[in-house]
Amino acid sequence: MAARGGSAELLIEGVGKRFGDVVALDHVSLSVAQGELLTILGPSGSGKTTLLKVVAGFETPDGGTVKVGGTDISALPPARRDIGMVFQNYALFPHLSVKANVAFPLEMRNVAKPETERRVAEALAMVELAGYEARLPKQLSGGQQQRVALARAIVFNPRLLLLDEPFGALDRKLRETMQLEVRRLQRRLGLTTIFITHDQEEALVLSDRIAVMNKGTIQQIATTTEIYERPANDFVADFVGESNIFHGTMSAPGAVTLDGGRTLVVRSDRQAGAKVGVLMRPERFASGGTNQFAGEVIESVYLGTSFKLRLACEGGLELLVRQPARGALPAAGAKVAVGIDPEAIHVF
């Protein structure tokens, strides 16, 4: 599971955490390469925030180790971990000016005054907030507050940057701007970064790799395309993107018989008799294709660039299909035929 290029900067090994009867983290291991942005994606209660707190030092794990740059930091207090973190609510110090907020980590490190001045100015310029030094956090908009939090988290050149759902409170447009900006900054500074979110779209936009978490375990760690195209299990397939998931048995090499009886031609080297899951992404359907489905529209939605159709097909199959928006939107009850090639079907 080692990341592409570069050594593992952050290494988490066998970390577990229980809260009473609840297992928040179940022997979680993962590694993040130098300069990589890894997203931990999962629903609320999946353990992603607990994992982040363990890395930051705010939560003591029941077992396992956290290493940064080869050094075990498990026993260090948060103050000595050298990790920059952007909190969900930004956690800006309300009684301190923007400048004092950003200078705070430098002050704690006894950095000399002129050096502090220079680095604060540099960090604020980086997040395009030069000129806002004297403002108090409450005098800033949500997006600006977030930039200050980001500047404060990077101003002391931390070994690691942690982002805990930082875009949740922003409106859609601002969120997209901030996502790109964070990505640009992270690349430019070569910061090893862990980003926490429950928003799969956000994860796909930002990440080098994604770790999908559920119920305290990592379901899959892979690149964004891998996660989307070749999910490891039902949970990942369902959580990331829109999907048609079916279950069946390999009836022959390259053929799956679904539990409803329908047989699909697929590309898979799984042995005959194996129980498998089948994933077909809605946008991979076309008019032609090896596997043909004829069905009746039960629901249709116009989405501007595409139509989203829900089809009831023979054999009790229900399919979610996206088609380029061309011509009239098929009405409910209309007969529609779609097809999908074996290459577009993922078997897991």
Which chain residues interact with another protein by CB under 8 A? Answer: 56-58, 77-85, 87-89, 91, 93-95, 104-105, 108-109, 152, 156
- Measured from the CB atom, the residue of 19 and 58 that comes closer to another protein is 58
Distances (CA, A) of 48 to 51, 53, 178: 5, 9, 22
Task: Report in angstroms how near the CB of residue 75 gets to another protein at its nearest.
Answer: 15
For 125, the token pair is 């310029």
- Measured from the CB atom, the residue of 164 and 208 that comes closer to another protein is 164
- Measured from the CB atom, the residue of 85 and 258 that comes closer to another protein is 85
Task: Report in angstroms how near the CB of residue 116 gets to another protein at its nearest.
Answer: 13
Instruction: Name residue 196's beta-bridge partners.
Output: 40, 164
Q: How far apart are CA 195 and CA 207, in angstroms?
A: 8
Task: Report in angstroms how near the CB of residue 32 gets to another protein at its nearest.
Answer: 18
Q: How far apart are CA 89 and CA 101, in angstroms?
A: 15
CB atoms within 10 A of CB 180: 12
- Measured from the CB atom, the residue of 41 and 55 that comes closer to another protein is 55
Task: Give the DSSP H or E segment for 106.
Answer: helix 98-108
Is 318 strand, coil or helix? Answer: strand
- Measured from the CB atom, the residue of 93 and 302 that comes closer to another protein is 93
- Which burial class, exposed, middle or buried, applies to 141 when counting CB atoms under 10 A from its CB (0-12, 13-18, 19+)? exposed
Task: Report in angstroms how near the CB of residue 108 gets to another protein at its nearest.
Answer: 4
- Which burial class, exposed, middle or buried, applies to 64 when counting CB atoms under 10 A from its CB (0-12, 13-18, 19+)? middle
Length of the chain counted residue by residue: 348
Task: Report in angstroms how near the CB of residue 109 gets to another protein at its nearest.
Answer: 6
- Measured from the CB atom, the residue of 75 and 108 that comes closer to another protein is 108
Task: Report in angstroms how near the CB of residue 37 gets to another protein at its nearest.
Answer: 19
**Contact predicate 333/296, CB 8 Å:** yes
CA 290 from chain centre, in angstroms, equals 33
